[in-house]
Amino acid sequence: MTMSDVTFKINNMEITVPEGITVLEAARRHNIDIPTLCNLKDVNEIGACRMCMVEVAGAKALQAACVYPVAPGIEVFTNTPRARKARRVNLELILSNHHRECTTCIRSENCELQSLAKDLGISDIPFEGEKSGHHIDDLSPSIVRDESKCVLCKRCLAICNKVQKIGVLGAVGRGFTSQVQPVFNKSIAEVGCINCGQCIVNCPVGALKEKSDINRVWDALGDPTKTVVVQSAPAVRAA
């Protein structure tokens, strides 16, 4: 233990971790599972999805573990009925605005949203209604962006801006009208995207995917005057 270490309790177990880290990071270092969706360590720590809610003794409201800093003597409970219920309701709300075509989605069985729903035993969504995003942008040579599947985690935006330092994605609107989209409301094809594919790699769902040759085949099949020439996929992933 050093001067800058912090000792606190998590699920009645006393642990010591470095000062300045979050409850989520402390839990991970001690193999305590807290579900997350928007969190991308050191890149996207914005507390947006509220899947990581935990109880902190003495605090009235539940806290998002991914943005709650450890402090000496606090007591954190990660798996109380209240925390589990909050995560479930939050996930149901996210799912209620998600285009749930899982059987045909390229990310099925490799989707963080789907995994969370399975883990929390969610099969029915009690909050049905109008959905906010409908636009599909497939003008890029390598990336297809489907707003109807976006969960507004902003991981794509953070990777593009902070890691790749390209900055072609932005957040617009508030509440129901919130969207993550290419800047100036343009297509990805029009904003200087370098086709690195990191937004796709870090998307937890199927909102961003590689454009495959099969799309071009179907496009051409719909137009009998076109000749279909299948070449290797144009998408380039960063090393």
49 is a contact residue toward ligand FES (CB under 6 A): yes
Interface mask (CB under 6 A) for ligand FES, residues 88-107, using x and -? Answer: --------------------
50 is a contact residue toward ligand FES (CB under 6 A): yes
Taking each continuous run of H as one helix and of E as one strand, the counts in the chain are: 6, 10
The DSSP annotation for 198-210 comes to: HHHHH-SSSSEEE
Q: Tokens for 76? A: 């954190």
150 is a contact residue toward ligand FES (CB under 6 A): no
Shortest distance in whole angstroms from residue 36 CB to ligand FES? 4
Find residue 10's DSSP bridge partners.
13, 76
Shortest distance in whole angstroms from residue 192 CB to ligand FES? 29
Q: Which of 17, 39, 55, 114 binds ligand FES (CB under 6 A)?
A: 39
With residue 113 as reference, give the H or E element that holds it: helix 112-119
Q: Which of 23, 38, 74, 94 binds ligand FES (CB under 6 A)?
A: 38
Strand runs labelled E in the chain: 5-10, 13-18, 53-56, 63-64, 75-77, 136-137, 143-146, 169-172, 179-182, 208-210
Q: Tokens for 19? A: 């000062």
Q: Which amino acid is at 141?
A: P
Angle ∠(197,108,203) on CA atoms, nearest 5: 30
Number of residues in contact with ligand FES, rule: CB under 6 A? 12
Q: Which of 17, 27, 40, 48 binds ligand FES (CB under 6 A)?
A: 48
Shortest distance in whole angstroms from residue 15 CB to ligand FES? 19
Interface mask (CB under 6 A) for ligand FES, residues 66-85, using x and -? Answer: x-------------------
Region binding ligand FES by CB under 6 A among candidate stretches 31-39, 70-78, 178-186, 230-238: 31-39
